[in-house]
Amino acid sequence: MKISVIGTGYVGLVTGTCLAETGNEVVCVDIDENKVQKMRNGEVPIYEPHLDVLFERNIKAGRLKFSTSLSEGLEHGEIIFLALPTPDDGDGAADLSFVLGVSEQIGKIIKDYKVIVDKSTVPVGTAEKVQAVIAKNAICDFDVVSNPEFLREGFAVDDFLKPERIVIGSSSEKATELMKKLYKPFVRSGNPIIIMDEKSAELTKYAANSFLAAKITFMNEIANYCEKVGADVDKVRIGMGTDSRIGKRFLFPGIGYGGSCFPKDVKALYNSGKESDYNFAMLDAVIKVNQKQKTALIPKIKAYFDNDLQNKTFAIWGLAFKPETDDIREAPSLYIIDELLNNGAKIKAFDPEAMENVSNKYGDKISFSKTMYDAITNVDALIICTEWSIFRTPDFEKIRKNLKSQVIFDGRNLYDIQDMEKEQLDYISIGRSNAFKS
């Protein structure tokens, strides 16, 4: 099939590349000329495991092309994916100006039937708005469908190629059939394509992300409470998670959720609620608890150093909001860095992928190390912000020899308490306490 994808951000790029992989002819459109030129030369503008291989293969095969021309994209595709940004508008609501701006153009340009697919995460009622904006100028038939994406960063290619479900919001049989045909190769395993109305599809995405954010947040509160009463959140987590109604996943406590989706989507759903005179009291609490959780290590660090962080140097392992990505949007590490700097501390950071992004933000306010062990030389203590696999089995002897104070502050609960006691390191994590004191 002939497909166009408007917007080559994270979602657009993964969507376009994976659709080319099943033999579709895909044109990806972006207004950024520099980026388009680079992509034409085979350069993947984001870090996402496996994407580079698929990218190169499909460009070589001539199935994946790039353009800066919206008209070219609209002429090519029978199905047009809108994968445009919907940033926070400053008041916590989704800014639809990109989606509606492009929709306006689409209305003026298209000459024959198109299915316009909303892939961006958009508030309930957006498909209706897109439909109306296109209809103002359109001289031909078209349909608008909502098809939210559920990709996780770091696993996006796998998630796209083997989705647990595809959600399609459509009220046109013709559009539904085309979408089913497009997605058929991805659901061979028997996973469902779920068809519903547009509004329900739009809400499904917000509800799923907000639920997961709430699940994590609930566990973070249990972890904080464990610390007060001397319980071990790891044991509680396992005890709870084996109940199949609860499930084991997304129960890991830590220093809060971050990234480009959860924080934005929870806020957007909360604000959409307000617009419809509905108060999502639970989401309000999730937002507040998560914000506080991001700096949950700070009072512990301060307490350990008797409230004096002036000129102390901290190694930070992990800057990305989660492993397998270079994305630092809403990363807890940034909040921790700000707090440490405000308290007069110095920072030596290491992350396998995200150092460039953090360096663009902080310049020389913090220093970066080539390896995780370079980062711990001549520092007072180690702080772990992201659970990259490489940090899971470190050389504890090296850590002991390097740290001036024998302490690790772990925001991701990477190590067993008993192991850390054997290593004779003070180990301060989330929702657990160790008995050893150096």
Binding site for ligand UDX (CB under 6 A): 149-153, 209, 216, 250-252, 254, 257-259, 261-262, 321-322
Could you confirm whether 18 is annotated as catalytic? no
Q: Which residue is nearest to ligand UDX (CB)?
A: 261
* Rounded CA separation 135/104 (Å): 9
Kindly tell me which of 178 and 320 has the beta carbon lying closer to ligand UDX.
320
Residue 177 corresponds to which tokens in the numbers above?
């059939």
| End-to-end Cα, the chain, rounded Å | 65
Q: Which is nearer to ligand UDX, 186 or 262 (CB)?
A: 262
- Identify which of 268, 302, 270, 336 has the alpha carbon closest to the alpha carbon of residue 126: 268
Residue type, 53: V
Closer residue to ligand UDX, CB minimum distance, 123 or 259: 259
The residue among 193 and 261 lying less far from ligand UDX, judged by its C-beta, is: 261
386: left (phi over 0), alpha (psi -120 to 50) or beta: beta
- Using a 10 angstrom Cβ sphere, with 0-12 exposed, 13-18 middle and 19 or more buried, the burial of residue 275 is exposed
Q: How far is the CB of 216 from ligand UDX (least distance, A)?
A: 4
Which lies closer to ligand UDX via its Cβ, residue 118 or residue 143? 118
Q: Which of these is catalytic: 18, 28, 226, 261?
A: 261
Nearest-approach distance from CB 96 to ligand UDX, in angstroms: 18
Bridge pairing between strands 313-317 and 346-350: parallel
The minimum distance between CB 353 and ligand UDX, in angstroms, equals: 14
Least distance to ligand UDX, CB of residue 387, Å: 8
Min CB(320)–ligand UDX separation in Å: 9
In the β-sheet with 313-317, what is the strand arrangement from edge to edge? Answer: 367-368, 346-350, 313-317, 381-384, 407-410, 426-428
Give the residue ranges of DSSP H helices in 193-294. 198-229, 233-241, 262-275, 281-293
Nearer to ligand UDX, 118 or 426 (CB): 118
Residue 93, judged by CB atoms within 10 A of its CB (0-12, 13-18, 19+), counts as middle
Pick the closest to residue 11 from 32, 24, 28, 25 (CA basis). Answer: 28
**Residue 258: CB minimum distance to ligand UDX, A:** 4
Contact (Cβ atoms closer than 8 angstroms) between residue 163 and residue 150:
yes
Q: Which residues are catalytic?
A: 261
